[in-house]
Amino acid sequence: MRKLAALSAMAVACIAGNALARPANVSLDFNGSGNTLAATGFDGAYNLNTSGFNVGGGRLTVTGLPGDTFGNYENDPDSAQNFFFANIDNSPQITVEANVRVSGLNSNFEGGGIWLGTDTDHYIRLSLFNNSFEGGIAVEALRENEDRWGGATPPGPGDDIVGRAIPNIATSPQASDIDAVLRLVRSGSTVQAFASINGGAFQQVGGAFTFTGFGSPGDPQGNGSNTQEGGLKVGVYALGGNSPDTTDAIFAFDSLTAVGTPEPASLSLLGVAGVLAFRRQRAR
């Protein structure tokens, strides 16, 4: 009977511990001040560079410093600077949204926006991006999952990097500021990307992106990879790419929210705890 009671208590403790470990929701309004990580409200940032961001006036303003999220396979972080993140529970349903004002987006392959993933090798990002192959300034959604690379161990299906875009939303050089609302919607094993530009209706950026098994223990990306990624994160970023242009693009975020639905597995754990407690009562 004591063992059953201990198991029941352990199940409840595991539920409580998991609930405390990572929040189901994230809400940042950037009301701090200064160029420290604490001022942003984020839990961390890959390659933090305090010269490239500032918090003030209800906005987190990030400049697109040199670097990108490509090129350093399974050895994080990549070269992208100020890739901010907040930890979040690995919920099956998550909606991430941010408001951002963009200016000076005039050099090829500069961009910035929001992201959802575990690190800079396993994520989906949604941004306003300067891309001469997409008619100047575009909205771009890109999913990178190095466990799906053909050279991974075991080999993936080869679709490790998948990108889609809404081309030519503004001319380059940028004539005026762009106000955008960026939204990522995770639903189980897929993620969809949406954007609203200057108060317009939301448009979907291509179709749904595969997000199979993302961040799940023992099956990090649904491909049986031998790598185990970190916990799920949401955040904002700005990239300067490898552009020699010294006039960096500026991304001023006035909010970031992420709303998740808790894993149903938690309910099953509660059920186990209840059954064990019931058996203990019957055994008296």
Nearest to 49 by CA among 74, 66, 27, 32: 66
User: Which pLDDT score is estimated for 217?
Assistant: 47
Q: Which residues contact 62 (CB under 8 A, 6 or more apart)?
A: 52, 53, 82, 84, 112, 236, 237, 238, 250, 251, 252, 253
Per-residue pLDDT tens listing for the chain (284 residues): 443 344 334 333 333 333 347 899 999 999 999 999 999 999 999 999 999 999 999 999 999 888 766 655 555 666 789 999 999 998 889 999 999 999 999 988 899 999 999 888 888 999 999 988 877 899 999 998 877 666 666 666 667 788 999 999 999 889 899 999 999 999 988 999 999 999 999 999 999 998 875 544 444 444 544 455 678 999 999 988 766 555 679 999 999 999 998 655 444 343 434 433 333 333 44
Residue for token pair 């099953």: 268
| CA–CA gap between residue 261 and residue 25 (Å, rounded) | 9
Could you tell me the domains of the chain?
25-261 (2.60.120.200)
- Coil, helix or strand at residue 88: coil
pLDDT value at residue 152: 65
For residue 173, say if its preceding peptide bond is cis, omega within 30 degrees of 0.
yes
Q: According to the model, what pLDDT value does residue 243 have?
A: 60
Q: Which of 22, 123, 147, 12 is nearest to 69 (CA)?
A: 123
Structure-block tokens of residue 222: 């649904």
Number of neighbouring beta carbons within 10 Å of residue 179: 16
Is 123 in contact with 116 (CB distance < 8 Å)? yes
Q: Are strands 190-197 and 203-204 parallel, antiparallel or unpaired?
A: antiparallel
| Whole-structure pTM value | 0.80
